[in-house]
C-alpha cells in the first residue's frame, strides 16, 4: 500500500487489514478481498453497491476483482 499510495497515510489507514486501537482487530472483509481471486455479492445489484460504497477503494486497487 505504501508503494501504491506513497504519502497518503489516511488511505493506507482506511484500507489496512488491521484496525488500530485497543484491542487491534482484523478486518475480515478486507482480508477476504485481498486473499480471494474474485469477490461477488449475492446478486449483480449487490456487487455494484459494494463496488460503489464500502469497497470502492479496493475496487480501484483491484479493478475487476469485485
- The pLDDT, as a whole number, for residue 26 is 97
Domain extents for the chain?
9-61
pTM of the model: 0.85
Q: If you write DSSP's letter for every residue of 31-63 in order, what string do you get?
A: HHHHHSS----SSHHHHHHHHHTTTHHHHHHST
Which residue is listed with cell 480471494? 36
- The pLDDT, as a whole number, for residue 65 is 93
- The pLDDT, as a whole number, for residue 11 is 95
What is the per-residue pLDDT across 3-57, written as a single tens digit (0 to 9) for each? 999 999 999 999 999 998 899 999 999 999 999 999 988 899 999 999 999 999 9
- The pLDDT, as a whole number, for residue 12 is 94
The residues, ordered by sequence, that sit 6+ positions from 20 with a Cβ below 8 Å of its Cβ are 13
Amino acid at each position: 500500500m505504501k508503494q501504491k499510495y506513497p504519502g497518503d497515510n489516511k488511505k493506507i489507514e482506511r484500507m489496512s487489514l488491521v484496525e488500530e486501537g485497543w484491542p487491534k482487530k482484523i478486518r475480515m472483509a478486507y482480508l477476504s478481498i485481498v486473499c480471494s481471486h474474485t469477490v461477488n455479492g449475492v446478486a449483480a445489484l449487490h456487487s455494484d453497491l459494494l463496488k460503489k460504497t464500502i469497497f470502492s477503494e479496493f475496487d480501484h486497487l483491484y479493478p475487476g476483482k469485485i
